[in-house]
Amino acid sequence: MSKRILISSLLGVAALGGVAAGGIAWAYGPTEPVLENTSARYVAPTDDRTGSFTFTTDVTDDSGIKGLKVIAWPASSKLDPTEAELRHVDSAKCAAVSDETYRCTYSFKVTKKDLAETDKGTWYVSALATSKDGGTTFAPRAATFAIPA
């Protein structure tokens, strides 16, 4: 085999390897975080104590979690927040439970005055998870809960 054919063959193999490596890198770019074990819990205030709302979810991504944005909203409002709007709402507190999974909790107190000014009925929770590698997952209705009339 001549040196020219051998060098051409090696260059072709190197070029194909570069294209394949680029394809693999593209195929394994930022992944979207996964939300699991999601729950929303509302506890009404009483004469003796303040009530609360708590949203909890496990967020998993191979690069780790940068954050989780959360908003609760009444179905009767027809609000239906978008992914872009969720970038500007409150953040949940997230703690690592493994290298890839974080338990995220968003909560706030509910007073009797708050309850009197709050829409009753079905409420939704929207969430936006962002991973450390830039992947995002938008869950427009990550959870549902009710505030009794």
Matching residue, tokens 């063959």: 9
Most confident segment among 2-16, 25-39, 44-58: 44-58
Q: What is the pLDDT of residue 24?
A: 46
**Pick the residue with more confidence: 49 or 11?**
49
Has domain 34-147 been given CATH number 2.60.40? yes
How much is the average pLDDT of 118-131?
A: 97
| pLDDT band per the 50, 70, 90 thresholds, residue 29 | low
Domain boundaries, the chain: 1-29, 34-147
The Cα 147–Cα 122 span in angstroms is 7
pLDDT for residue 1 is more than 50: no
Q: What is the pLDDT of residue 80?
A: 92
Paired tokens of 103: 């338990």
pLDDT for residue 18 is more than 60: no
The Cα 38–Cα 130 span in angstroms is 16
The Cα 80–Cα 140 span in angstroms is 7
Cβ neighbours for 123, distance < 8 A, ≥ 6 positions apart = 40, 42, 72, 73, 74, 75, 144, 145, 146, 147
Please state which of the ranges 5-14, 22-31, 116-125 shows the lowest mean pLDDT. 5-14
Matching residue, tokens 């609760």: 72
